[in-house]
């Protein structure tokens, strides 16, 4: 590159690519299968359009979306009309559709998914509800404090590392056994099913986690195969299905005892944070000591001149400069295609709304956990919980006063003994 040649900024490069694509593909028709479908609260439609070998992002804004004569869904074959555009923020090219129509038939994989799901409904492994949705037929409880966890996933994927990091951080004392398997491609379903059977035969597992990280429907397909579904349903140990991202649903989710939206979430669900447990126990122990030994709160704290020729040359150069500026302005997409800028700002707004919604859900989850912890601590203050551990309260039957020592009694006094359940009367025959 010549030293005088100015380097493009990333924005300038993306904008140039955007101009080329927009000019070349500004009136196209493309057919494919919908996946990763999302109807945003703004009314804009986002999805992927794919065939057997390739995929491209698809955006359809609210104005065009309102004219649809059908309800798009994952797995549906469609034909869209529109133009190719580049979303400058991410440098990703996409189709901006202004029209969409249904193509004949459904996606092959979607059809296979529905056929197996319906078959398992007939056999009672999955339940179809009155509103048309489906749920698991069986949901065994997951142990609150598992000692041995079996994980069935790829040994090289990010999912296993995420799960192990979370488990070790939250409760390193737990024993984790990984049974490595292929999670996509030929033979993956058989390997997963065999691993479930193998860990069940080995025995001693409190819970099994079966899953992988996110991907396309093709990447996740092993978890929509019948051998995997039957192996999970037949497991003696309860199974958590942790496949893909939160929006991904597989047959494995419908037959497992519990569905986790992601592998990381499965790790958080299966083990509690040891520090939280220790804090709760410390608080209970301190309050128990204070209650039994009469400790006060203070005691309990530890806790820019020219001839004619030169002038003409200067004027000519100036005209050329302004020509270049004029040509540049003619190519400016804000003047040439003002609607594109508005479309891009719409996408940015949707992105911001999604991030805000995610942050809000995270905030609410933290508050929910705080509420559960507070409720647990409050339960620890219940005096009946102390009595249930075998303690009792002795009262003077006449005055109702609590007896704190033998000095409060004499021979012949009658007392009442109160337990967690019921009470009894007694007469004092001797004091020491």
Q: What CATH number does residue 203 fall under?
A: 3.40.50.261
Mean pLDDT for all residues in the chain: 84
Domain match, 95 and 232 both: no
Number of H helices, E strands in the chain: 14, 15
> For residue 399, what are the domain limits?
393-427
Statement: residue 288 has pLDDT above 70: no
Using CB atoms within 10 Å of the CB of residue 253, give its burial: 0 to 12 exposed, 13 to 18 middle, 19+ buried. buried
Lowest-pLDDT choice from 38-42, 56-60, 89-93, 169-173: 89-93
Q: What share of the chain has pLDDT > 70, as a percent?
A: 87
Q: Of 270, 299, 325, which residue is a domain's last?
A: 270
Domain end among 106, 134, 151: 106
pLDDT at 200: 96
| pLDDT above 60: residue 46 | yes
Residues 143 and 245 in one domain: yes
152 and 218, same domain (yes or no): yes
Distance CA 237, CA 150 (A): 10
**Mean pLDDT to the nearest integer, 235-251:** 90
pLDDT confidence tier of residue 204, bands split at 50, 70 and 90: very high
Dihedral of the alpha carbons of 20, 26, 28, 31, in degrees to the nearest 10: 70
Residue 19 within any structural domain of the chain: yes
Residue 206 lies in a domain: yes
Where does residue 159 rank: exposed (0-12), middle (13-18), buried (19+ CB within 10 A)? buried
Same domain, 121 and 230: yes
Given a cut of 60, whether residue 235 has pLDDT beyond it is: yes
CA atoms within 13 A on the CB side of 147: 2
Rounded to 5 degrees, what are φ and ψ at 342? -65, -40
Q: What is the structure's pLDDT at 87? A: 85
Q: Is the pLDDT of residue 305 over 60?
A: no
The answer to whether residues 80 and 163 belong to one domain is: no
The domain boundary, picked from 106, 137, 159, lies at: 106
Q: State mean pLDDT over 32-37.
A: 91
Question: Which pLDDT belongs to residue 326?
Answer: 78
Distance CA 283, CA 288 (A): 8
The CA–CA distances, whole Å, from 120 to 126, 178, 357 equal 6, 28, 35
Q: Which two tokens stand for residue 178?
A: 């990984």
Distance CA 234, CA 271 (A): 23
Strands 92-106 and 55-60: parallel
Spatial neighbors of 277 by CB under 8 A, at least 6 apart, are none
User: Do 172 and 127 have their domain in common?
Assistant: yes
The answer to the question of residue 87 being in a domain is: yes
pTM of the prediction? 0.48
Examine residue 53 and state whether it is found in any structural domain, yes or no. yes
405: left (phi over 0), alpha (psi -120 to 50) or beta: beta
**88-102, 147-161, 350-364 — which one is most confidently predicted on average?**
147-161
Distance CA 192, CA 241 (A): 12
**CATH number of residue 67's parent domain:** 2.40.50.140
Does any domain span residue 217? Answer: yes
C-alpha closest to that of 303 among 324, 316, 289: 289
Tell whether 74 is covered by a domain: yes
Same domain, 245 and 162: yes
Spatial CB neighbours of 198, under 8 Å, sequence gap ≥ 6: 179
pLDDT top residue among 311 and 219: 219
- The burial of 275, by beta-carbon neighbours within 10 Å (0-12 exposed, 13-18 middle, 19 or more buried), is given as exposed
Q: Is 135 helix (H, G, I), strand (E, B) or coil?
A: strand
For the chain, what is the domain count? 3
Q: Are residues 128 and 209 in the same domain?
A: yes
Core vs surface per residue 388-407: b (16+ CB within 10 A) or e: eeeeeebeeeeeeeebeeee
Mapped onto helix, strand or coil, the DSSP state of residue 176 is strand
What per-residue confidence (pLDDT) applies to 425?
A: 87
Higher pLDDT, 353 or 208: 208
Is 332 a member of any domain?
A: no
Task: Say how far apart CA 218 and CA 109 lie, in whole Å.
Answer: 8
Same domain assignment for residues 189 and 118: yes
Angle CA(26)–CA(31)–CA(37) in degrees, nearest 5?
A: 95
How far apart are alpha carbons 29 and 17 in whole angstroms? 20
Q: Is residue 282 part of a domain?
A: no
> Do 170 and 101 reside in the same domain of the chain?
no
Is the same domain home to 33 and 53? yes
Alpha carbons 93 and 102: distance in angstroms, whole number: 23
Condensed to tens digits (0 to 9), the pLDDT of residues 84-120 reads 988 878 888 899 999 888 876 456 677 788 899 999 9
- Here the tokens at position 415 are 């007392």
61/145 same-domain check: no
Confidence band, pLDDT 50/70/90 cuts, at residue 289: low
């Amino acid at each position: 590159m010549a030293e005088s040649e100015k380097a493009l900024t990333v924005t300038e490069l993306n904008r140039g690519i955007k101009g080329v694509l927009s000019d070349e593909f500004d009136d196209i028709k493309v057919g494919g299968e919908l996946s990763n479908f999302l109807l945003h609260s703004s009314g804009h439609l986002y999805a992927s359009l794919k065939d057997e070998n390739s995929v491209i992002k698809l955006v359809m804004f609210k104005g065009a979306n309102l004219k649809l004569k059908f309800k798009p869904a994952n797995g549906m074959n469609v034909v869209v009309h529109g133009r190719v555009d580049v979303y400058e923020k991410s440098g990703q090219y996409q189709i901006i559709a202004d029209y969409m129509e249904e193509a004949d038939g459904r996606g092959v994989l979607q059809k296979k998914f529905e056929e197996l799901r319906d078959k398992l409904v007939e056999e009672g492994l999955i339940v179809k509800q009155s509103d048309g949705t489906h749920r698991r037929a069986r949901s065994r409880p997951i142990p609150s404090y598992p000692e041995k966890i079996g994980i069935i996933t790829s040994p090289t994927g990010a999912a296993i590392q995420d799960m192990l990091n979370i488990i070790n951080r939250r409760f390193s004392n737990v024993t984790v056994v990984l049974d490595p398997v292929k999670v996509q491609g030929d033979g993956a379903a058989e390997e997963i099913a065999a691993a479930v059977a193998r860990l069940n035969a080995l025995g001693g597992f409190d819970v099994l986690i079966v899953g992988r990280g996110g991907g396309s429907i093709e990447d996740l397909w092993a978890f929509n195969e019948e051998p995997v579904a039957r192996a999970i349903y037949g497991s003696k140990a309860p199974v958590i299905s942790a496949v893909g991202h939160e929006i991904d649903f597989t047959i494995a989710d419908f037959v497992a005892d519990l569905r986790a939206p992601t592998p990381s979430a499965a790790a958080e669900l299966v083990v509690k944070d040891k520090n939280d447990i220790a804090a709760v126990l410390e608080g209970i122990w301190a309050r128990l000591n204070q209650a039994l030994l009469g400790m006060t709160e203070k005691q309990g704290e530890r806790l820019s001149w020219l001839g004619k020729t030169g002038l003409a040359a200067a004027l000519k150069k100036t005209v050329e400069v302004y020509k270049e500026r004029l040509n540049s302005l003619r190519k400016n997409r804000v003047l040439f295609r003002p609607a594109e800028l508005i479309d891009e700002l719409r996408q940015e707004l949707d992105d911001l709304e999604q991030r805000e919604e995610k942050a809000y859900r995270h905030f609410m989850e933290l508050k929910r956990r705080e509420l559960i912890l507070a409720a647990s601590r409050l339960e620890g203050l219940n005096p009946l919980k102390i009595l249930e551990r075998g303690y009792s309260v002795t009262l003077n039957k006449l005055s109702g006063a609590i007896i704190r020592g033998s000095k409060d009694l004499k021979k012949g006094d009658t007392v009442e003994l109160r337990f967690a359940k019921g009470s009894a009367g007694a007469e004092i025959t001797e004091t020491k």
